[in-house]
Amino acid sequence: MKVDIEKFGRIAVITIDRPPVNALSQALRKLIEVRLDEAAGDEAVKGVVLACAGRTFVAGADIEELGEVRPPTLHAVIDKLEALGKPSVAALHGTALGGGLELALGCTFRVASRDAQLGLPEVKLGLLPGAGGTVRTTYLIGAEATLKLAGSGNMMGAEAAQGIGLVDAVFDNDLVANAIRFLSDKIDADDIPPPVSRRREAMPACDPQALESLTAELCRKARSSAPELAAQSVRNALTLSFEDAMAEERRLFETATGNPRFGALRHLFFAERAAAKPSGDVAEAEPRAVQAVAVIGAGTMGSGIAMAFANSGFDVIVRETDEAALKRGMERIADTYERSVKRGSLSAEEAGRRKARIAGTVAIADLASADLIIEAAFEDMAVKKTIFAELDAVARQGAILATNTSYLDVNAIARSTTRPADVLGLHFFSPANVMTLLEIVRGDQTAPDVLATALKLARRLGKQPVVVGVCHGFVGNRMLQARNAALSQLLLEGATPDQIDAAFRAFGWPMGPCQMQDLAGLDIGWRNRKALGETDALPDRLCELGRLGQKAGKGWYLYDDSRKPQSDPEVDAIIAEIAERGGIARRVVTDAEIIERTHGPMIEEGRRILDEGIAARSSDIDVVWAHGYGFPRDLGGPMYWDDHLRASAQEKKKV
């Protein structure tokens, strides 16, 4: 770790170098202060460029230090930067996030490389920026733009940032040299504005009603009240002096760090990174090169997987068994991109480029040159074994063969080839081009470099990987089965689909289990139960009656063209009939009982998964459920909730 200073004529360049992401630790803040003092005391220096070595600008504060304020604080460093008495420019590349962007706001100007990304992601930890991120940004770009940035936690590209005034110039190359030239030109032209903290009078006007609407929208999307913290700080910036607004921002930040929600979100922050990091023999392995990808199956899952890879720059070939099925799959892909263009989330040009990366075929021989082949066929062991035996005959040596199975034995599938070391499970979640979770299933003979390749690919795809072992349903679906068994029993005892789903939403889930089953298709669980010789009388009966979920227009609920779930008296009658036949007395079931009896068995199954070594850490289970199933992030995942929050929640209900 070091901070260098070098003079280029009258401009001093201060370069921060703390690999891998230049996080603002206490020691680094001290070094920055030393260099700022040096630049301030040098009369030959007329301006300062603040830059970073490595692949990124400061990518944030050191999260290990959250809750421990040790001098010099980031506040103090930024104040010193503003008080230099000399103009400064931050040269942003890679990512400038959180404390990194706040540090840049202490400079007079900001310039960026064209591929730089800026953001204030603290809301994703249940926090708000704590070193002027909401106050200075409001002065610079206005209240609504600031709230969109700080209230969503999303990153913004350099060109978009320039468009709203957050960045002053964007360069394609030679960032530091261009920053020196930019600052020199500003000095020569005597075009030096005051520090951002003194630009309150020049900030863009704000529509209070629009700000309130935006706050409500952000809270709804986040399924959390955390964006309200950022909104309150933005309002303070509009109405209070700079000093008072900064004091209030800090107070809000400190209040948030004492909230149990922060502990849960912080847990997930570290859990996600631990799950994605190779360990043991995988950490020592060199990933294989993957350029050409093939997907077998052009159904909902196969087409989603193909788009996930195409969206990340891979060339993909999709194989189907006949031309009609292939045509439907390619049309599904085209329709998805067309909808993205209509929504404005993708330009027509970019959609065209992504679609052009996907080709189709009905000939398995066309997959011979692929580096990675992912099977996404029907969830049937015989079908999958046949496919893998065919792949064994045509795939090149060293190609990775992956199955997207969500339940089946990856070891049994691998044994249908002569190369089980090249076989693993890549369990994507539907829609695969949207959902972030990727369960990477390590078979008994899967080679370490195959696992290393999968983890590297997950990063490029923007997926959250979790390595799991082989068992029926792996981590997520195995626990889900335990929950679903409790669900059926609750319905038979007197709960209704409406009540159960409402209780889940009140707990923090985006939707309840009955609505989720309807969305996924009740026939998925039915098919899996039949394969195992198991039954579940209630959902089995719905399937026998053709009530397969939303796609059939009826499942637990009725659906019209709007696809909004509506209660159905026929389902109530089916439940009552099966309960009577089983001698089950119907009664009033409370919401608290619904949560306890559905979550308890799920967590018990999670404990067994840990005991069996299917998951390496309980935090891995939390990551699976937060990313793949919608478990409320501000409760930390089912295992964290059970260990840290469940007992206190139960005590509150007793009071």
Widest Cα–Cα separation across the chain: 92
Count CA atoms closer than 13 A to 630's CA, side-chain side: 15
Place of tokens 């009369």: 43
Active-site residue (options: 6, 43, 68, 122)? 122
Active-site residue (options: 82, 102, 272, 605)? 102
d(CA 597, CA 533): 25
* Residue 63 CB-density burial (10 A; 0-12 exposed, 13-18 middle, 19+ buried): middle
d(CA 595, CA 368): 50
With the C-alpha atoms ordered 386, 389, 395, 399, is the resulting torsion angle positive or negative? Answer: positive
Three-class SS of residue 359?
A: strand
- Nearest Cα residue to 123 out of 11, 46, 239, 218: 218
- Nearest Cα residue to 466 out of 592, 343, 615: 615
- Residues in Cβ contact with 327 at an 8 Å cutoff, skipping those fewer than 6 apart: none
Asked if residue 89 lies in contact with residue 179, where contact means CB atoms within 8 angstroms, the answer is yes
CA angle at 71 for the pair 69 and 77, rounded to the nearest 5°: 105
Asked if residue 98 lies in contact with residue 60, where contact means CB atoms within 8 angstroms, the answer is yes
d(CA 451, CA 447): 7
Asked if residue 14 lies in contact with residue 81, where contact means CB atoms within 8 angstroms, the answer is no
Asked if residue 73 lies in contact with residue 111, where contact means CB atoms within 8 angstroms, the answer is no
Q: In what order do the strands lie in the sheet with 88-92?
A: 2-8, 11-17, 47-52, 88-92, 109-113, 169-171
Q: Say whether 612 is catalytic.
A: no
Please, what's the b/e burial string for 3-17 (b: 16 or more CB within 10 A of its CB; e: otherwise)? Answer: bebeeeeebbbbbbe
Q: In what order do the strands lie in the sheet with 156-157?
A: 95-97, 117-119, 156-157
d(CA 376, CA 451): 19
Residue 554 carries which DSSP code? B
Count CA atoms closer than 13 A to 490's CA, side-chain side: 28
d(CA 329, CA 583): 47
Residue 425 carries which DSSP code? E
d(CA 342, CA 348): 9
What are the φ/ψ torsions at residue 427 (nearest 5 degrees)? -90, 95
d(CA 291, CA 306): 13
d(CA 18, CA 16): 7
Q: Say whether 338 is catalytic.
A: no
- Nearest Cα residue to 140 out of 161, 111, 170, 116: 161
Three-class SS of residue 185?
A: helix
Provide the annotated active-site residues.
Answer: 102, 122
